[in-house]
Amino acid sequence: GENVEQHPSTLSVQEGDSAVIKCTYSDSASNYFPWYKQELGKRPQLIIDIRSNVGEKKDQRIAVTLNKTAKHFSLHITETQPEDSAVYFCAAGGNQGGKLIFGQGTELSVKP
């Protein structure tokens, strides 16, 4: 089955800097790669996703890149703000209907 590895587990940046979180997946048949943000004590919420027919997707300060050959994808946050502080999860799936396997999470801390 699918296995998703996520790095780093913790990331601390200064406000205004960029943050990058990386994930690798094992099942080459996976075709859907979402990213979720979970603020402290709250439910995870989708922030951006990408399907395997594109290599990059942007939404304001957030971008995701996908390298299907290498089986890895990354989340890029530019001009970070304190409100970006949260745990971020990547996921992979789509080859078995809607089943999604999540990475272990990255705790991002943005220092003012």
Partner 1 sequence: GAGVSQSPSNKVTEKGKDVELRCDPISGHTALYWYRQSLGQGLEFLIYFQGNSAPDKSGLPSDRFSAERTGGSVSTLTIQRTQQEDSAVYLCASSPHSGRAGELFFGEGSRLTVL
Residues in contact with partner 1 by CB under 8 A are 1, 6, 31-32, 34, 36, 42-46, 49, 89, 91, 93-94, 96-105
Between 36 and 73, name the residue whose CB sits nearer to partner 1. Answer: 36
Q: How far is the CB of 109 from partner 1 (least distance, A)?
A: 14
Distance between CA 26 and CA 102 in Å, rounded?
12
Q: How far is the CB of 55 from partner 1 (least distance, A)?
A: 18
Contact of 3 with 92, CB cutoff 8 Å: no
Distance between CA 102 and CA 29 in Å, rounded?
16
